[in-house]
Amino acid sequence: MNRSARPLGGLLLVSTLVAMPFALWSALLYAPTEQTMGAVQRIFYFHVPAAVVAYLAVAILLGSSIVYLYKRDLAWDDLSKAATEVCLFFCTLVLITGPIWAKPAWGTWWTWEARLISTLVLEILLVAALMVRRYADNRDLGARLAAILGITIAADVYVVHKAVEWWRGMHPQVFRAGEKESLEPKMRLALLVCMLATTLLCMLLIWLRYRTARIETRTEGLRLRDRDEGDDR
C-alpha cells in the first residue's frame, strides 16, 4: 500500500466512525416525527442520502471509465470497479428502503413509474458491469466492456434524476430548483448530517475497495509473470 495514501484512509475511517452515530441520532431521535406519515418517514434520512451518494459513485465510475478507455491503465479500471461495487450497494439500499417507505405512504410496495423503473435499470446495469469483468475472456476485454457500461450507467442516472420532471408520477421530488425549502429546520439539519455521514461512508468504501483491487491486480500480474517465466524454461 502506498504510504502517502494511508493518512487519507485513516482520516476517512475516523471521520466515518464519528459521523455515523451522529447521523443515527439525528435521524431517529433529533428530527421531529412527521405528522402525516409518522415514524416511517424517518427512512427518508437514509433513503435520500443513499440515492445522492449513488450519484457520487456513478460520477467516479464515469470519470474512471473514460480515462481507462483513453489510457488503458488498469489502475483506472480498479477505481471503476470499486465505484461500481459501492454504487451497487447504495442503489440496492435505495431499492430496499424505497418500498418500505412507499407501502404506508402510497399503499403499495412498488409502482411501475419512470423513476422506479430507471432505478431498477441502473441496478441491472451495475450488475452487468461486474459480470462482464468476471466472465470476459481476458482482463482488457472485460475492462473495456465495463467502461462502456459505466458510461451507459451515467446516462441512465441522468434519466433517473430527470424522470419525475419528464414523466411525473407518484415519486416525490425532494429538491426542486427555485422552490422554498419545505423541510423544518430540525429535519433539514438531520438530513444534512445523514448526507455527510453517508458521503463519508461512500468515499471510505470506494477507497478500501480500490486499494484491495490494486492488490488483486498486482497479485494477478505477478502470477501471470511467474507462469510465463515457467513456460520459457
Q: What pLDDT is stored for residue 36 in this prediction?
A: 78
- How high is the pLDDT of residue 189? 94
Q: What is the 8-class DSSP label of residue 4?
A: G
pLDDT of residue 92: 96
**Please, are residues 113 and 55 in contact by the beta-carbon 8 Å criterion?**
no
Residue type at position 206 = I
Cβ count near 120 (within 10 Å):
15
Sign of torsion over alpha carbons 140, 146, 148, 150:
negative
Cell numbers 452515530: residue: 21
Q: Tell me the per-residue pLDDT of 108-122, one tens digit each, with 9 for 90 and over.
A: 777 788 888 899 999
**pLDDT tens-digit readout, 179-223:** 445 678 899 999 999 999 999 999 999 999 999 999 999 998 788
Q: Within the chain, which residues score under 50 in pLDDT?
A: 1, 177-180
pLDDT (0 to 100) of residue 81: 96
What is the number of other CB atoms lying within 10 angstroms of the CB of residue 84?
29
Distance CA 203, CA 141 (A): 27
